[in-house]
Amino acid sequence: MNRPPDHVAETDERAIDQTLTQWVLRRSGSALLAAATRAASNAEGHGHSCAWLDDPQADAHFDTDALQALRQHAWVGDGSHFTPFVLDAQDRFYLWRNWQHESKLAAAILQRSAQRTLPIPAATLAEDLDALFAGMPHGPTDWQRAAAAAVPGARFFVLTGGPGTGKTTTVVRMLLMLLQHAQACGLPAQPSIALAAPTGKAAQRLVQAIAKGKAELQVALGEDRQPAGNARSANPLRPNLSNLLQQIPHADARTLHRLLGYRPMDNSFSRGPRNPLAEDIVVVDEASMVDLAMMRQLLEALRPDAVLILLGDPGQLASVDAGSVLADIVASAPSNPLPPSLAGLLAPLLQHAPPITTANAALAGQVLTLTHTWRAGSGLQRGIEALRDTPDPAWLDTLLRERADGDLHLRHCPNPHALRACVDGWIERHADLLQSLLTPATDAGEALQRLRQLQILCALRDGPFGAQGLNDLIARRLAIRFGIDGSRAWYHGRPVIITRNDYARGLFNGDVGIALEGAEGLRVWFELSDRDGNAGLRSYSPRALPAHESAWAITIHRSQGSEYHDVAVLLPPDPDNRVLTRELVYTAISRARTHAEIWTTDDSLRAALARPIRRQGGLRERLRSP
Ligand SMILES: Nc1ncnc2c1ncn2[C@@H]1O[C@H](COP(=O)(O)OP(=O)(O)OP(=O)(O)O)[C@@H](O)[C@H]1O
């Protein structure tokens, strides 16, 4: 029987899904192919790179006969040559472009991973690590040391871990290792380094973190240069490492779009295989936000001898567009066990002998996860760690009963009435800070800094429980509490977030500014980096802004790559809302440094934490079985 399935879900369908389906039906005359097209296009809209047609739980389930008929259609191929659609051996059905992105990306990663060598002898590594981790305890730093020692000789390296596990601290040391042993690693004597991130905000945070990491290491290396009567402890490498540290850039991190020379006019990139990036080492932070197409572009824009280091937290939300690249890469490699040769090299350098994998895993030893958290005293840490994987049911029961775990708090929010009470409570708890923002004569730099202390994050964009509805509610409640004129769109202290890139004005999606009354009337102030990475303040007339929204509350998706002291997270009260996932809650809570609260119902929280994101695609298998 090769009838098309008659229960393809019609919900959440985009106009493009319908147009493409109709077009395929008209041109091919095959209702079966049209149904598969609809499934693949709809799947892409939900972030999947393909539709798994054989999935009994999928909206569109194709039986064996239907799959057989589909496989024989002239428009469907196995990926070895161009066909509009690809049906692979596991019954994953791809639009050609997504097939290309996935298979080319997998091939590029595997090719880079296969080039790995171990060029530095153990004794030299031991000396290096002594200098780079001087004064730091063994044990908790084992995986940081392992990463620094394992990166020389790799062309592709992924360092992951939750917030505060020391990814930036470690990457500075990894870069120093590459600089120190550049030629042995097949790099030029003075390799050039590019820092990049998927969004401007994340790029800004990366440069700040690298600058801080460099300064801390500089002090540590400098201390031993004058060992104050204890010359025996001096490590002769330190002056050299200290000099090399200057070669690590800390002022200029670019967005991936800028790094790759994005051309908005024709939605293409100037950097690619024919015009590769000049840099020898490329570091990309917040890699969980990078989608399949962009990651392929990046891999193909690297010279074969360049080194790519990806940093990120695969527990966070996947990219907005199709793919869950970082999570797939991490899932394709055994979690921290090393291949025997690397394990043997590193064992004498670590307190605990590293676990060994004998599986023929292509990426083993090139994907490392940091597990020790360094944010001492953070009352949020237990909650963040609990939420990163499927939480222990006992932990969740206790949280729901006690309504708090350290600095993570729950507030019951089943309806708009309760939401208003949550907002009023939030305003009271932060009244001093809000008052200072809403009072004229605030310094722009200071106001922007204060604004970053607080952020409300919403799972939804629209409706009373979405960011837009909440912004309106907050403006009304602030008007009552602080006497501002809530009927006007613009008022002193209104925070706004840009929602569309404006290359001409230098304002980008996600930039947050604040409206302040001054001598020139009301202007909206932003902290922006120039092309050299120098941060400065710039103001715009409200009329000159590209598309924007109020930013008391923003969506969790928009908050990725940012960090705030205090975060309140609003989840919809309906547990069946499909937006609720564990990654969403984890991403929101891990934006907070000191305090977080969740406004929702117990059922919604339980539902979210029981629902991990599962994106359909074949990347992790392709990486596992080259
Ligand atoms: N080995 C270490 N010894 C002492 N402190 C450390 C060590 N590693 C990291 N830290 C400290 O822990 C804090 C977090 O480190 P870092 O910023 O490198 O983590 P991260 O994983 O990049 O965090 P995030 O993802 O939240 O940006 C910093 O203050 C850093 O100085």
Query: Is the Cβ–Cβ distance between 177 and 152 less than 8 Å?
Result: yes
The model carries a pTM of 0.86
| pLDDT, tens digit, 9 for 90 and up, residues 193-222 | 999 999 877 888 888 889 888 888 888 887
- Predicted confidence band at 235 (pLDDT cuts at 50, 70, 90)? low
Binding site membership of 587 for ligand 1 (Cβ less than 6 Å): no
Q: What atom in ligand 1 is closest to the CA of residue 161? A: 21
Check residue 231 and give its pLDDT.
45
β-pairing, 408-412 vs 404-405, is antiparallel
**532 band by pLDDT with thresholds 50, 70 and 90:** very low
- The distance from CA 481 to its chain's CA centroid, rounded to whole angstroms, is 37
168 lines ligand 1 (CB under 6 A): yes
Distance CA 531, CA 543 (A): 25
Report whether pLDDT(142) > 50. Answer: yes
ipTM rounded to 2 decimals: 0.97
Per-residue CA distances from 420 to 86, 328, 427, 433 (Å): 51, 40, 10, 19
Average pLDDT estimate for 322-351: 89
Most distant CA atoms of the chain, gap in Å = 86
Cα angle vertex 470, ends 163, 540, to 5°?
A: 80
Mean pLDDT of the chain: 88
In this prediction, residues 263-268 reach a mean pLDDT of 87
| Structure confidence at residue 500 (pLDDT) | 85
Q: Candidates 129, 141, 159, 168: which one to mutate for ligand 1, based on the most atoms within 8 Å of Cβ?
A: 168
Q: Which helix (H) or strand (E) holds 213?
A: helix 200-223
In this predicted structure, the answer to whether residue 10 has a pLDDT above a threshold of 50 is no
Chain Cα centroid distance, residue 86: 29
What confidence score (pLDDT) does residue 347 get?
92
Could you report the per-residue pLDDT of 76-103, keeping only the tens digit for each? Answer: 999 999 999 999 988 999 999 999 999 9
The pLDDT tens digits of the residues spanning 542-592 come to: 999 999 999 999 999 988 878 899 999 999 999 999 899 999 999 999 999
The bridge status of strand 495-498 relative to strand 512-518 is antiparallel
Pick the range with the lowest mean pLDDT from 11-20, 157-166, 348-357, 466-475.
11-20
What is the tens place of the pLDDT at every residue in 171-193? 999 999 999 999 999 999 999 99
DSSP of 268-288: EES-BTTB--S-SEEEES-GG
pLDDT at 625: 66
Confidence tier at 530 by pLDDT (50, 70, 90)? low
Of 298, 263, 274, the C-alpha closest to 284 is 298
Count the alpha carbons within 13 Å of 244 in the hemisphere toward its beta carbon.
Answer: 23
What is the C-alpha R_g of the chain?
Answer: 26
Q: Name the nearest CA neighbour of 426 among 563, 559, 569, 551.
A: 569
Q: Is residue 6 pLDDT above 60, yes or no?
A: no
Lowest average pLDDT, out of 224-233, 298-307, 328-337, 388-397, goes to 224-233
Say what percent of the chain tops pLDDT 90: 58
C-alpha to C-alpha distance for 626 and 611, rounded to whole angstroms: 30
pLDDT band (50, 70, 90) for residue 534: low
Helix, strand, coil distribution of the chain in percent, nearest 5: 40, 15, 40
Check whether 254 has a pLDDT greater than 70: yes
pLDDT tens by residue, 55-80 = 766 666 788 888 999 999 999 999 99
Crossing angle (nearest 10°) for helices 416-429 and 431-438: 80
CB of 258 within 8 A of CB of 195? no
Q: Is the CB of 235 under 6 A from ligand 1?
A: no
- Atom 8 (ligand 1) nearest CA: 166
The dihedrals phi and psi of 579, each to the nearest 5 degrees, come to -70, -20
Mean per-residue pLDDT for 410-417? 96
Tell whether the model's pLDDT for residue 224 goes beyond 60: no
Is there a contact between 563 and 590 (Cβ–Cβ < 8 Å)?
no
pLDDT above 50 for 229: no
Residue 193 bridge partners (DSSP): 281
Counting other chains too, the contacts that 471-475 makes at CB distance below 8 Å and 24 or more residues apart are: 471/549, 471/550, 471/551, 471/552, 471/553, 472/550, 473/419, 473/420, 473/423, 474/423, 474/427, 474/550, 474/552, 474/553, 475/550, 475/552
From 130, 138, 214, 374, mutation site for ligand 1 pocket: most ligand atoms within 8 A of C-beta? 374
What is the structure's pLDDT at 344?
Answer: 92
Indicate which residue's Cα is closest to atom 24 of ligand 1: 163
| Cβ neighbours of residue 560 closer than 8 Å, sequence gap 6 or more | 199, 202, 286, 288, 289, 316, 317, 587
Question: Lowest-confidence range among 165-174, 395-404, 463-472, 612-621?
Answer: 612-621
Instruction: Write out the two tokens for 332.
Output: 């394709």
